[in-house]
Structure 1
Amino acid sequence: MTRTASPFVLAASAEMLYLDRPFTERVTRIAERGFQVEIWDWSAKDLDALAATGATFSSMTGYLTGNLTDADGIEALLSSARASLEAAARIDCPRLNLHGTGLDDKGLAVRPVEVVTPGMWLTAADTLRRVAELGEAAGRVFTLENLNLAVDHPGTPFARAADTLSLVRAVDSPYLRMNLDLYHAQIGEGNLVELCRQALAYIGEIQVADVPGRCEPGTGEIHYPAVARALHGLGYTGVIGLEGWARDDSDAALDAFREAFAVPAASGHGTTADSTTTESTRAAVGS
């Protein structure tokens, strides 16, 4: 099957690839391979050195501490969001990522939550409106990422993609979008193509890795070429970021990622949104 260059903007996480290299060299290598670059905690990085690489940065962590629902946590989140915007300006990063609560260095919720109450939903939406206002003033977009509770992030409130979509819809600001992470969504919800369809108008970025193992496409159960065809049929042309480990070699992982998110050249078959999505719905999981 003849393939074209990807119709999407492809990025990759420097936190998870080329781990044998200093961080700035990881950024340089990813950029040399033709990808935009994603980073996590900016406070531990030499931002001037990163800017000097000439890499195009796609996203970075948009807070350092805090949460969406507790009074002290809200103020901490907003304060660190302001500082994150200043850091984003230094490397010209357009998107800043948030979670439902602060995570520790193992990815666990700093304040685990078992039951999210109606009041917490209302408070979270109000906090995110304030975050969106900060983004609007700075001309940058905050994204709210879904996580999974079963494997990586137990106790995180507002973790499901359905939760993040509900909150982003409630705020309804172009300065707050979803970071739709399909690795997490596959573990928590599945039905990835329909999820992309439902969330399409609110997506600021899509992140991917395969399940299980959180490595590059082709190492697990998700048939990412079918997801790519569905997204193309839906008209998505935004960022898709590889937030996954390399199973073996990082160059090979990036090659596999690029190939998964190329799409077949137009041949008259499966090129409309309806036919592409129908095919992809059948094949998106369990290739």
Structure 2
Amino acid sequence: MSERQRADQPGSFTLAVCSEMVYLDEPHLDRVKRIHDAGFAVEIWDWTTKDPAALAAIGARYTSMTGYVSGDLITPAGADALLESAEAAIGFATRIGAPALNLHGTGLGEGGLPVTPVPVVTGEMWLAALRTLERVATLGERHGVRFVLENLNTEVDHPGTPFARAADTLALVSAVGSPHLLMNLDLYHAQIGEGNLIELLRRARPWVGEVQVADVPGRCEPGTGEVAWPAVARALAEAGYDGVVALEAFASRPGIAGSDAALDAFRSAFTL
């Protein structure tokens, strides 16, 4: 078995690649096929524009997708909209075999900006978010799927997003206390907003359902920025994490060769 074929079994992690951020000159299905042929699992974002039958026909392993279309965690109407769209997302996830559905603190629009920015998060909002996420966990339990709440950064990419920090998502997920609602610990966002990544992942480990990575600054593949990714990989393994680590990063170089190199750099950083 070649090294490229072993990309889904490096040490104890399952390596996945976000198909929305690499091979950008290719049609989406061709991106998925390239990622799959390189031996990685695949992640997707907006499922409403995609054909589940075509995705399933490629034979790729899909590890996560966006788990909602609209709504928020804090208003009654927003919570209902989120639950309704999450239920629709479950149907798509079932068709492609994706076990994890990704959520954020609020709906994101053009450029990743929150549809309804929240300048100050109040105590009442925290309680409302907790109640909404309890409903989300119940929905996941009913359908046998797992929702993951992703931390974001407000300094660079997502200003005005509530419950954005990893400390926030950890607080909410641990308060719900369900295996059907875990964290998507995005270490790119955490490095910008909080830093101290190894201590963060050790603290969050019991509640982590997925890990996403990109280097800082630039949001490109490991080795292009300031993070010591091999040390992070070792810390994850030492903490007993054996789940998905996903590259959610742009390739630092253009073209197919640049994306190939980005996937190789990711594989190297997380192969123990």
- Determine which of 53, 57, 61 is the counterpart of 1:56: 61
**Conserved 8 A contact 1:158-1:164:** yes
Q: Which amino acid aligns with 1:135?
A: G
Q: Which amino acid aligns with 1:127?
A: T
Residues in 2 aligned to 1:5 and 1:211: alpha-carbon distance in whole angstroms: 23
Q: What are the within-5 Å matches in structure 2 for residues 98-247 of structure 1?
A: 98-247=103-252
How much has 1:223 moved relative to structure 2? 0.7
Residues in 2 aligned to 1:29 and 1:85: alpha-carbon distance in whole angstroms: 25
Q: Which runs of 5+ in 1 are unaligned?
A: 264-287
| Residue 266 of structure 2 is aligned to residue 261 of structure 1 | no
Secondary structure of the corresponding residue to residue 118 of structure 2: coil
How much has 1:7 moved relative to structure 2? 2.4
How much has 1:48 moved relative to structure 2? 1.1
TM-score normalised over the length of structure 1: 0.89
Q: Which amino acid aligns with 2:264?
A: D
| Residue 97 of structure 2 is aligned to residue 88 of structure 1 | no
How much has 1:51 moved relative to structure 2? 0.8
Q: Which runs of 5+ in 2 are unaligned?
A: 1-8
How much has 1:156 moved relative to structure 2? 0.1
| Residue 26 of structure 2 is aligned to residue 17 of structure 1 | no
Provide, for residues 68-123 of structure 1, a one-character-per-residue CA deviation record: whole Å limited to 9, x for no partner: 00111111101000000011011010000000000002100100001111111011
Aligned twin of 2:71: 66
Provide, for residues 222-258 of structure 1, a one-character-per-residue CA deviation record: whole Å limited to 9, x for no partner: 0100101111111111100000000010110000000
How much has 1:47 moved relative to structure 2? 1.4
Residues in 2 aligned to 1:237 and 1:61: alpha-carbon distance in whole angstroms: 22
CA RMSD of aligned residues (A): 0.9
Q: Which amino acid aligns with 1:258?
A: R
In our comparison, the structure showing a higher alpha carbon Rg is 1
Q: How many residues align?
A: 260
Residues in 2 aligned to 1:6 and 1:256: alpha-carbon distance in whole angstroms: 16
TM-score normalised over the length of structure 2: 0.94
Residues in 2 aligned to 1:23 and 1:46: alpha-carbon distance in whole angstroms: 11
Q: Classify 1:257/1:6 alpha carbon distance in 2 versus 1 (closer, same or farther; 3 Å).
A: farther
Aligned twin of 1:284: none
Residues in 2 aligned to 1:21 and 1:6: alpha-carbon distance in whole angstroms: 31
Q: Which amino acid aligns with 2:207?
A: Y
Residues in 1 aligned to 2:81 and 2:107: alpha-carbon distance in whole angstroms: 10
How much has 1:260 moved relative to structure 2? 0.2
- Determine which of 9, 26, 31 is the counterpart of 2:36: 31
Q: Which amino acid aligns with 2:132?
A: T
Identity of matched residues, %: 63
**Conserved 8 A contact 1:69-1:124:** yes
224-233 or 142-151: which moved more? 224-233
**Conserved 8 A contact 1:6-1:258:** no
Residues in 1 aligned to 2:12 and 2:126: alpha-carbon distance in whole angstroms: 36
- Determine which of 245, 254, 261 is the counterpart of 1:252: 261
Runs of 4+ residues deviating >3 angstroms: none
148-157 or 228-237: which moved more? 228-237
